[in-house]
Amino acid sequence: MSQAAARLERLPVSWLHYRLLLLLGLGWLFDAMDVGLITFVLAVLAVEWTLSPLALGLIGSAGLVGMFVGAAAAGLLADALGRKTVFQLTLLFFSLATLVNALAWDVPSLLFFRFLVGLGLGGELPVVATLLTELAPSRARGRFLVLLESFWAYGWLCAAVMAFVVMPRYGWRAAFVLGALPALYIWWLRRRLPESPRWLESRGWQDQAEHILAALEREAGQLTGHPLPPPSPLPTEAVVATRSPLRALWTPRYSTRTGMLWILWFSLVFGYYGIFVWLPTLLVQAGFPIVTSFRYVVLITLAQVPGYFSAAALVDRLGRKPVVVSYLLLSALAAWFYGRATSVAGVLFFGSWMSFFNLGAWGAVYAYTPELYPTSLRATGAGVAAAFGRLGGVLAPTMVGWLLPVIGVPGVFGLNAAMFVLAAVAVALLGPETKHKVLEEIAG
């Protein structure tokens, strides 16, 4: 029996967990703000640097190439070196790289700097999700992971505010500077976060795990004012040889899960970046002024927040699969109609529902992915799935830039809607349900 798992499961949901969520989520917010900023910067650079759609697509893809490398490398490192060490390093690297983006002087320099940002960003996201997965009790784990992902919407809203307030007055370079400095501060605040006791236990470091567990139990008791119940027996987690973690993902025990996650992540990331990286630029090309386009993007982005909260409310009640599948299919439907909208009312209506369901699906996917692997493979499995998904993100912005003159806006949104449908089908047919199950039980 895993002592760490049994003792973490008995902790009441309290400020202890919400503080962890806040500190992890704030880093997520600044990650999202950078991704949001580049979508607005592209709309400005298209005019300022007289860039072609293909050049804009390459800039949008450069950060995703970095995310591909960063997610895969960070997942492997987090299973070898620890969750806390890796997510702190990736946030620091991301913050400094975002600051350097302000120095870009031409397209090649910006491509290189965006790649560096992607290394840090891609590395942090799956590792942070893994840490929260291993610390949250199973009865609230899905909700906490979706709420973590909801900070992505707040980051996009901050990026939109930058586009409205900072960029028109001080330019796009100042926006990158202002995005980097608070992220450095969050890196400093995070230094006292605990390492995962589950990971420490899996490495045989019982003393370190005991020290963290005792501190968490002591704090939980102080917060609630009640003695903790005794730990309940839990299943013993499967032991997986980790000399070749990538090969272990494709053993008979995990191959179906890995295949399902790779299809899900590739399709979801392709559709998301094929739409949202281009959204301000596509609105400008549809005839709306830049400022008006930014305003519409803000309104559409606002719909992400209730989308996340709706998924957070449902993911521990209905289950991961029903939420992921239904939200992806509804996102596809909204994207299809959005691409054919000709009025302002249509753009805002279908765009808002597309944003609502797509980002709600993202939240549920981040809750679902780390649950499907044992502790020794969890960060690797989540990181590699995210990395494979980034290949879709690398292709999508460039393909949109190439296909836009050929198939037009309706065709582009139809393609991305089809990718959401493919993701939904993969989960429906191949994904196990994990609702209310302890991680050790899911890993089998």
pLDDT recorded at residue 136: 87
pLDDT recorded at residue 334: 94
Region 330-353: what's the mean pLDDT?
Answer: 87
pLDDT digits (tens, 9 = 90+) for 386-410: 889 888 877 887 787 778 778 877 8
Burial 86-96 (b: 16+ CB within 10 A, else e): bbbbbbbbbbb
Domain residue spans in the chain? 3-227+246-443
Retrieve residue 251's tokens: 């053993």
Q: Answer whether CATH 1.20.1250.20 is correct for domain 3-227+246-443.
A: yes
pLDDT recorded at residue 238: 59
pLDDT recorded at residue 313: 92
Q: Which residue has the higher pLDDT, 128 or 296?
A: 128
pLDDT recorded at residue 236: 62
Q: Which residue has the higher pLDDT, 239 or 157?
A: 157
pLDDT recorded at residue 180: 77
* Residue 419 pLDDT level (bands cut at 50, 70, 90): very high
pLDDT reading at 333 higher than 90: yes
pLDDT reading at 428 higher than 90: yes
Q: 176 and 30 in contact (C-beta within 8 Å)?
A: no
pLDDT reading at 132 higher than 80: yes
Alpha-carbon distance of 312 to 365, in angstroms, equals 11
Q: 442 and 328 in contact (C-beta within 8 Å)?
A: no
Region 368-373: what's the mean pLDDT?
Answer: 92
pLDDT recorded at residue 296: 78
Retrieve residue 113's tokens: 């700097």
pLDDT digits (tens, 9 = 90+) for 213-235: 888 888 776 656 666 666 666 66
pLDDT recorded at residue 1: 47
pLDDT recorded at residue 240: 60
Q: Which residue has the higher pLDDT, 346 or 320?
A: 320
* Residue 261 pLDDT level (bands cut at 50, 70, 90): very high
pLDDT reading at 60 higher than 80: no
Region 132-161: what's the mean pLDDT?
Answer: 86
pLDDT reading at 93 higher than 70: yes
Whether this model's pTM surpasses 0.85: no
Q: 239 and 30 in contact (C-beta within 8 Å)?
A: no
pLDDT reading at 283 higher than 80: no
* Residue 302 pLDDT level (bands cut at 50, 70, 90): confident
Alpha-carbon distance of 157 to 304, in angstroms, equals 10
Q: Which residue has the higher pLDDT, 232 or 80?
A: 80
